[in-house]
Chain A
Amino acid sequence: MAYDKPIPPKGQHTQPFWDGAKESKLMLPRCRDCNRVHWYPRLICPSCHSMDLEWIEGSGKGRLHTFAVQHRAFGGWGEEVPYVTAFIDLDEGDRMMTVLRGVDATKPEDIRIGCRVAVEFEQANDDTFIPFWRVVEE
């Protein structure tokens, strides 16, 4: 079935991320001076203000920082409510937003903050693979 949800407009400085996503790699920006990973991608390191940045392949692993259950949504997501949105603490540092998979949206009290999660990608069109995160065993 064709992907029916919003497809993000591509920015001008993020091509390595989308290229990596096609190969199921989670590419992350890292500063060559202070070695910190940041998210979302910047033109300048938000920690030390160096402009010497590189892209690295992340582990695709992290922990659940917080979440919510969406009962009202638009576009293709409207047909999927309720579903769980979440913020993920990346093992490399900083935080990513996502839709969380592998959980029951009707039982939010069973979702455990701090649980291990792993990234996966779903093809939206020829150029776009969207990252989603799934709860996994420790």
Chain B
Amino acid sequence: MASPNLSNAAAIVGAAESDVIGYPMELIGERVTSLQHHIQAIKNVSTLTGIPISDIQGVFSAGWSGELCEHLGLKPRYLDTTSVGGCSFQIHVHHALAAIHAGIIDIALVSHGEAGWSYRGGGYGGRGGGQVSPGAEMTAAYGTFGAPSQYAHAMVRHFHRFGTTQEDFAHIAVVTREWAQLNPRAVMCGKTQSPFGGPITVEDVLEARLIAWPLTLYHCCLVTDHGGAVIVARPEIARSLRTNPVWVSGAGESMGHQNMLEMEDFTATSASRSAATAYKMAGLGPADMEMAMIYDSFTITAGITAEMLGLAPRGEGYTLWKSGAAAPGGRLPINTNGGGLSFNHSGMYGMQLLVEAYRQLSRSAEDGVNGTEGKQTDATACVVNGTGGTLSTTGTLVLTSDDR
């Protein structure tokens, strides 16, 4: 195995604790929450080292990194929330070292907060019991539950800002269904697979049952099972196998918010940042992409993301589908497996994106199992973008074929 020299690639430059540790109730007459412990310790180490919190680029913690970044207003370039018990923090330092050595970040924060005494019992996984996330506290009263109830707000804002319509986004559902018809494993491939399978029209999408206006059922992804895996190996190994390698030419990640309450611009995601990182690493840009795999939990997710990836101007992501560019035979095939909308969506759809991108770029997308005639594209570069949470977190890959 190639062994990169990580020695001395980073150092611990300061350490601090929260203001009151041990038995806070006995010491100051009140309980301290896990979140307070985190924030106080972070503030204290920032003061100690003179490093402003805003200079932190990577956040490492056992399950808390999303909440911490949001609480601190950070837009990190590296997120690690590995939570594997007491050794987690040694592991975080290791990860931070690797990330710094690789040049992804310069300054990493490893944070811990655990009200093991103040809120003992009833908690889970190191959070301490009985504590309430302040963001959740201020949204819990209003009955929104599940992704569509949230994502609908983004589509309405897109309408307002860019003059788009339900019909514009309906084209995304229709074209994605066209791809599903070329994939026998797609839930909505045809009547064999489902009584609701086969082609749909814009009218079908508009007239379908309302879930959360303006989202009708066909603007929403499926709910299915899925299993998938990919293997990543170094070049010497990749070259020695029977299968075609697909190169990870670029990668990036970021987040905008955790709670939609903190979504600054409802028509934008952090994919603009994660994609910029990935494109830069690859030395390629949106114009070089010959296909795209874009997380489509909802039509709005795909439309906005296409804009964030630079594949279309702001406000015009949907035109890639409406014009037919994204369709089978089009100039920029998108979601060639049939997407989360019509192929498969198990809750976390990122693996499905990866599997299809691999098949396309390794030339194995069309064999009667993976797809039928017309599914295989001749793309040599594909941008793959996953979106998590409520348009919250993003990871972008730029993949290239071996024959490029």
Interface residues of A (CB under 8 A from B): 5-14, 39-44, 46-47, 49, 51, 65-78, 80, 82-83, 85-87, 95-99, 108, 113, 124, 130
**What separation, in Å, do the CA atoms of A98 and B157 have in the docked complex?**
16
Main secondary structure on chain B at its contact with chain A? Answer: helix
Q: Cβ of B292: which chain A residues have Cβ within 8 Å of it?
A: none
Q: Cβ of A9: which chain B residues have Cβ within 8 Å of it?
A: 132, 137, 140
Q: Does A69 lie within 8 Å of B140, measured CB to CB?
A: no
Q: Does A113 lie within 8 Å of B52, measured CB to CB?
A: no
Say which one of B29-37, B169-177, B236-244 lies at the interface with A: B29-37
Q: Name B142's contact: one of A11, A51, A85, A95 (CB within 8 Å).
A: A85
Q: List 13 A-B contacts (CB under 8 A).
A: A6-B141, A11-B133, A11-B134, A49-B54, A49-B73, A66-B156, A67-B153, A68-B152, A68-B156, A68-B215, A80-B143, A87-B261, A97-B142
Q: Cβ of B131: which chain A residues have Cβ within 8 Å of it?
A: 11-12
* Nearest chain A CB to B49 CB, angstrom units: 14
Interface residues of B (CB under 8 A from A): 31, 33, 35-36, 39-40, 43, 46, 52-54, 71-73, 131-146, 148-149, 152-157, 160, 209-215, 259-262, 266
Given A8-B138, A69-B212, A70-B143, A51-B132 contact (CB < 8 Å): no
**What separation, in Å, do the CA atoms of A5 and B35 have in the docked complex?**
28
A130: nearest chain-B partner, CB-CB: B141
Given A13-B134, A87-B153, A42-B71 contact (CB < 8 Å): yes
* Nearest chain A CB to B3 CB, angstrom units: 39
Q: Does A85 lie within 8 Å of B149, measured CB to CB?
A: yes
Given A39-B138, A85-B144, A44-B152 contact (CB < 8 Å): no
Given A8-B141, A39-B138, A75-B143, A67-B211 contact (CB < 8 Å): no
* Nearest chain B CB to A58 CB, angstrom units: 14
